[in-house]
Chains A and B, each alone.
Chain A
Amino acid sequence: MEEIFVPALGMAMDNAVLLEWLKRPGDSVSVGEVVAVIETDKTTLDLPAETAGVLGRHRYAINDEVPAGNTLCVVLAPGEVEA
């Protein structure tokens, strides 16, 4: 199970805003496909999947402020179930 999370970038990044979901829960995703777009103090950032699988539930909504390090969603491999 891959966790897609808001990366802590630079020296003082506390959170980011979730701008867009490009995949819905249950969608299949392939390696490198962008799942979500976030905005930090400095830039917008595409968050791609690093593994192929099926997207789990959205843990945040558009425009939510998400603390750096927090998981936005998971990518489930065949047979895996989200907790």
Chain B
Amino acid sequence: MSVPDKKTSLGLLRQMMVIRDFEETADKLSLRGKVSGGMHNSSGQEAVAVGVLSALAPLDVIATTHRSHHHTLAKGFTSREIMAELFTRSTGISGGRGASMHLGDVTKGHFGGNGIVGAGVGIAMGAALGIQQKGDKKVSVGFIGDGGMNTGRTWESINMAVIWNLPLIVVVDNNQYAVETFVGRVTGGGDLAKRAEGFGMKAFNIDGMNVLEVRKYVSEARERALAGEGPTFINALTYRYYGHNVGEKGQYRTLEEIDKWRSTKDPIDHFISVVISSGYATQSQVDEMRASVRAEIEDAVAFADASPEPDISTIYDDIDSGALGVQL
């Protein structure tokens, strides 16, 4: 697989490092009670988020899931505004009224995370219909987990995207566990891409631990969508290193299994070796990058901690479009 130029490659690496440090820091703070409503740690899944978002244009649409910090950071939102949202502070991306599961900003093409399994594809499908109706040169990406692959609305939405030939890319951020249920135990037919192919769309099972592979498949899907060739389904196989939610007492998989994925398939370690072997950085430059990421996340925590809580007068803001003039 061809490696992008130096600036792009180092950008991909740094973005994955930001996500990892952000998540591990936020996980500890959540255990300390600093994160309202808990959170879902995406450590291990960085290559899916960064691979997808680096292949999109700034105003392409995404809709995501309950586990969305990595997608949101990779879309270009700052660690400050996301950490502040986790702390439910007014400087957060959703004004401090959404917390971890409701990160979003429709003005920048982020149609939000949500707590409903499988809902992201439906929201992204609607956005894709809007893009088609308006004739915009954009695509819409619906992130979904492996757990959402067995919900009805997912396949209703995929069917509509096919029959209407919508510019939709469905990305399964397949971390292999729906809370504690292993995907292999609950997937009839055993092959998610084949299932999607049955709906008449291009579909691929890919390595979600390899940022360049994810980026390549999404770039090609985007080109097809912009050329009017309709939706694509991408099942990116990845692995989450921590529990479904912070503080989970995981007893459904072995420590050996987690260690095996971390030590042999880690997306950041893998891409560091690519960057070094391409001559883009030395090990000490990689270490410097990691230190600068550490400083960025520490700054984000300090910023969040120092920010005020939202004013009570804002409690009904942003829950309707305002077009109907509803007074709550």
A residues neighboring B (CB under 8 Å): 5, 7-12, 67-69
Contact = CB atoms under 8 A, between A and B. Distances in A.
Contacts of A67: 33
B38 A10 contact: yes
16 contacts: A5-B31, A5-B32, A7-B247, A8-B30, A8-B31, A8-B32, A8-B33, A8-B38, A8-B247, A9-B31, A9-B246, A9-B247, A10-B245, A10-B247, A11-B37, A69-B32
Interface string B21-49: 00000000011111101100000000000
B33 A69 contact: yes
Contacts of B245: 10-11
A10 B245 CA distance: 7
Interface of B: 30-35, 37-38, 245-247
A12 B247 CA distance: 12
Classify the interface of chain B: helix, strand, loop or mixed.
loop
Contacts of B30: 8
B125 to A, nearest CB: 28
Contacts of B32: 5, 7-8, 68-69
B34 A69 contact: yes
A8 B38 CA distance: 8
A15 to B, nearest CB: 10
A69 B32 CA distance: 4
B102 to A, nearest CB: 13
Contacts, number: 29
Interface of A is mostly: loop
A12 B30 CA distance: 12
Nearest to A10: B38
Contacts of B247: 7-10
B31 A7 contact: yes
B121 to A, nearest CB: 24
A16 to B, nearest CB: 11
A39 to B, nearest CB: 15
Nearest to A5: B32
Contacts of B38: 8, 10-11
A5 B37 CA distance: 18
A52 B292 CA distance: 31
A19 B167 CA distance: 57
Given A8-B32, A10-B245, 12 more contacts: A7-B32, A8-B35, A8-B38, A9-B246, A9-B247, A10-B38, A12-B37, A68-B32, A69-B31, A69-B32, A69-B33, A69-B34
A8 B245 CA distance: 11
A56 B245 CA distance: 31
Q: Which 10 A-B pairs have the closest CB atoms?
A: A69-B33, A9-B247, A8-B33, A69-B32, A68-B33, A7-B31, A11-B38, A11-B37, A7-B247, A8-B31
